[in-house]
Structures are given as C-alpha cells and as structure tokens.
C-alpha cells in the first residue's frame, strides 16, 4: 500500500493498493499434442458396411468433393443466373431446364479449372476482390472483371477498349481462341 504525498498520511486519506504477481509459464507438451489431435478431428459416417469397397482415404476424398458440387449448385441458384424467376409446369420442361443448367454448370467448372491450371502452369497471378494476387480465382469473379470491356466495330475496323494488362495476360494463358474475341 502506498499513500500519495510525503510523510504520515491524513486520517481520511485512502491508500493506493498495488498488486504484483510473479510466476512461471510452462507447458505440458504431451497434453498440448493431445489437445491438437482432438481439435483436428470430425466424424465422417457412412451406411456402407462393406469395409473393402470404400477405404477411409476414398471416403474422405468423396466427402471433400461434395463441396465443389454444392458450390456449383449455389451458383445455379444465384440471382445472376435468373433461375428464381422461371416457373415451369410441365415435367419435360423442368427436365430440359435442368439439363441446360447442368451443362452450363459443367462449362463454368471447366472454364474455372482451365483458368486455375493455366495460372499455375505459367506461374501467373490474377487479382482477387481485395486486389491480392491469386492463382485460384473463381470463374464468376473473372466474368465480373471482364464486364468493363467494350468492343467497337465500324465498317471493317474493330477496337477493344477497357482491357487491363492482367486480363490480357489471362487471355494469353487461355489460348488463341479466347484471345481472338478481345483483339
């Protein structure tokens, strides 16, 4: 306890109380390792009781692959794809729409794969939404970045405006066929 000022404290003066703790930090490495092991676990269950038909690595790979499919269907449900505004009554038309949507999802996924693998093979990068360089942009983001590009045609002359250097680099990586649309 300390008092403010010098000398003997007055009767009504309150003391200032200070605490000081001392100790040592230590870690039980075996308990920390056990805790880390338990944090990284989750339950993956199946009703397939044949242990030889599906090993754990295949089961885990199949589980992880579901995320890609789910992301694809989330794309199909997005307002940009305009599926929410269609109402169909006949089962044949619903099946036809589902076929078109599935085919377009397949094209979307194939293009995204081509973009990502091309960027990795060429050690190139594409800016993401936060302007950080990435080798795995989504096809949706690439589509959005290409929205500001305009093509003007007058008689036999064609002029492309608004194309950025990173977009030109991506078109070169994708190949001559893609590049021909923007040259």
Residue 182, class by beta-carbon neighbours within 10 Å (0-12 exposed, 13-18 middle, 19+ buried)?
Answer: middle
Q: Could you state, in order of their start, the residue ranges of all structural domains in the chain?
A: 71-182
With a cut of 80, say whether residue 68 has pLDDT above it.
no
Contact 97, 103 (CB under 8 A): no
More confident residue, 54 or 182: 182
Which pLDDT band holds residue 173 (cuts at 50, 70, 90)?
very high
d(CA 98, CA 100): 5
Across the chain, mean pLDDT equals: 83
pLDDT in tens, 127-172: 998 999 999 998 889 999 999 898 888 888 888 899 999 999 999 9
Positive or negative, the Cα torsion across 134, 135, 137, 142? positive
pLDDT-wise least confident of 7-16, 39-48, 73-82, 117-126: 73-82
- What does pTM read for this prediction? 0.57
């Amino acid at each position: 306890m300390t008092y403010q000022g010098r000398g003997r404290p007055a009767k009504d003066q309150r003391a200032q109380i200070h605490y000081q703790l001392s100790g040592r930090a230590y870690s039980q490495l075996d308990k920390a390792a056990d805790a880390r092991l338990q944090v990284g676990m989750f339950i993956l269950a199946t009703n397939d009781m044949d242990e030889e038909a599906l090993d754990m690595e295949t089961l885990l790979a199949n589980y992880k692959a579901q995320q890609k499919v789910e992301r694809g269907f989330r794309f199909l449900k997005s307002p940009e794809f305009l599926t929410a505004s269609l109402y169909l009554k006949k089962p044949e038309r619903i099946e036809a729409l589902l076929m078109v949507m599935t085919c377009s999802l397949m094209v979307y996924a194939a293009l995204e794969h081509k973009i990502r693998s091309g960027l990795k093979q060429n050690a190139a990068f594409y800016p993401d939404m936060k302007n950080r360089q990435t080798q795995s942009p989504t096809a949706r983001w690439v589509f959005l970045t290409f929205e500001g590009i305009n093509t003007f045609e007058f008689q036999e002359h064609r002029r492309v405006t608004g194309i950025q250097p990173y977009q030109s680099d991506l078109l070169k990586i994708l190949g001559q066929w893609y590049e021909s649309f923007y040259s």
